[in-house]
A and B are shown apart, each in its own frame.
Chain A
Amino acid sequence: MVKSRVYIVASLIAFSFLIVIIRLFYFQIIERDYFLEYIKKQYYTKEKIILPRGTIYDSNNRILGISVPTVDIFVIPKYIKNKERVAKELSTLIKKPYRTILNKLYTKKHYVVLARGLDKSLKERLLTLRKELREWNIGIIESSKRFYPLGSIAGSTIGFVSRTTGKGMEGLELKYDKKLGGGTGNILVMKDAMGNPFTIENEENLEKSHDIKLTIDSNIQFIVEDVLKEFVKERRPKEALILVVDPNTGDIVANATYPNYNPNRYYRYKNHKNITFHNAYEPGSLAKPFVLAEAIDEEKISFSKKYYCGEGSITVDGIRIRDHKKFKNLTADEIIIYSSNVGAIEIALKLDPDRFYKRLFSLGFGKSTKTFPGEASGLIRKDKRPVEIAYASIGQNWTATPIQIAMAYSAIANGGYLLKPNFIKQIINKETGDIKKPEKKVVGKVLSDKSVEILQKILKQVVEIGTAKKGRSNYFTIAGKTGTAQKYDPKIKALSDEKFYTWFAGYFPAENPKFTVVIFANEPKRIKKWEFIGGGTVSAPVLKKLVDRIMFYYKSKPDKNGGEYGNKNPSRN
């Protein structure tokens, strides 16, 4: 009797367990996917968020671009019970007009975003408000917003990140998009009974991001932009730029462009170009030192002889090419110092056309440096007709980007080596703290020691007594060359006498070059009616203001007159 009762109870218990096991088998194995989906809908929420990217620093560790944590608020309007109260409470909290919020709450859309990019510190208060109002259809999503604390400083160089995709769209943000990480990702969040996110269950597409330290010095960048702003105000050009590069490493120290934009409000600007990289222009007389370098290497020039530079023009293949002055007789160095077109053409016509074009290509012209996204390569047509050689020697029928000009002039400054331009000082792994420093990339030796020595002497004279004398500094030695290129005017189907590109390219201090500088303007306007527009009158004067300010920032002692100025105080002596 006893035994049978125990068996009955035991069988009942066993049977109950069996039912539970069968039921569990049904839930866990047979209908697993269905119930997983069911639970996910009830307790989990998949949220698409903009992921934070790596931070961009300048060379002094000042932040140029940072991802700031934010929150976005959205609602499902049809389920909001008391729209007026929600609008009123949210309006005071997120500081948005009551009417705007209310109108959004009355829209017939299924899903409405009330605010994006709010300060994350508001999240707690928003959650409390939602709890108080018992409006569970107000959604709060954590996100991030790219912020550029220095505003438009170096804007066109840094570029920007899309507000919706979180991906780099322009400039260095685009170039180093993979390294900086970011983009959008999905987070599977488990909610508690009140609908508040409880724990992160799964993270998808969350790429590792790196911080990037640039070679740009925001203080120099500011000085350069300040000088450029003044220049633009005075000359009202269509486009202008000042580029500062370290000729010994190829590091880009500052790059100020006009037009520029504030990446915080990139969507308000139509033009996001960085003309230093995206556009190519005719370099004008900036090409002449390279013609001379080739002539030196081909031994087709004598510095003791005077060359007849005509009566202000030269005719090649029946085409008359004008000079800006009647120079008559000039020595080879004077041809560069006073920038004689006829003299440069006379030299160029003696050169082997193949070697001449090879020289231009070897200096980096005609191909992109691949430093910036969407970079132009410039155009050189290898046309060996004398008239084409003549025009090429005065920089008139070929184009170069300002960065190519800067690197070619850096080669003169650093002893003849063409370097690859560089923006990156360090790439920092945020997790491990590992630092990667890119090495200096030497493309090749492109100028002989002899030609470098001669060009360095001549380019110093250009600034002291030649076409760039308006840019001469009282305290520092500068070497460089001015350039003026006539623009093609489609209206008259010829080169315009009114529209020019004006250039200055050079380096300072001339004795121990620390910076290469390129100053460019597209169609600068005359200040006085009779004024001659050219690199010497327009671009060179900018140099004077720039050099003293930059060198003072580095607390550099003047190198002119043996540093004499630095130790004297004229106001006291």
Chain B
Amino acid sequence: MNAFRFSWPGRVPASRSPLARYRRQLWLLLAPFLAGALLLIGLPALLTFGLAFTRYDALTPPVWSGWANFAAILQREVFWIAARNTLVFAGAAALLQVLGALGLALLLHPARRGVHLYRGGVYLTTILPDVAYALIWLWLFNPLYGPVNLVLGGIGLPQPAWLIDPATALPSLIAMAAFRVGEGMLLLIAARQALPAAYYQAAMLDGAGRWAIFRHITWPLLVPWLLLLFVRDIVVAAHSTFTAVYIMTGGGPGYATTLLPYLVFEEAFSHLRIGQAAAMLTLLFAAIALFVWFVYRRLGAWGYADDL
């Protein structure tokens, strides 16, 4: 829309022309967003970055300490445990979410009667408040009378202790995250419906089976969307786990479910080691930015834009 690109005729000075006035009005409408983004996200993020280089306990003014915080956290075992946990959690949860969303989208993409109800039912878990979702799963995973173990016991399978056992605690959180796939499903349904029906008709005339059609038509055409979704899910999984950990495990047992956002919260608000917390956040953000940049470059090299 290049509506306002034409030049304004007449002798009016450029700054007073109606067009310039309209432009100024547009910027005025945009001002709250820009101001809010600057004050509530931009500056705070920069301040966090700055605090990473100071010693600060919220009581006395921050003292410049150079790279000391980074050196300190890199030597702390709990940071490495949390980093490893975050990596495992984000990778596994994102993979399961993408595969789950793909399976659901392939099942629920046809426009048939009742399909809205099914999609709505699947999407419902995604819109629940984080606290409620975490508390529900805390109950589902209760080793003694939680429904998951009641079902497993009912069909004679072993009943793990889930969140109580260090070996199954992190996988439990991953399983819980894997059920929130509503947005990915909607995206992939839209992407699947946008694929030309002619491809499928041609393949069926050639007598191709379901697997062959999926393997040679659906999969290659959906791969760009799957990658996009995977990147998004990894980013979200890496930094939106605080509530679940805080409500369900408190980082335990031991440090089995200590993920970086929770560790940052504990460092900053419980131990008042704000400089170290900020340094951890800086590293987390740098890792995410590097990952996104890397994927973006690779996708560009694959001619990603053409596939869209």
User: Do A and B come from the same complex?
Assistant: no
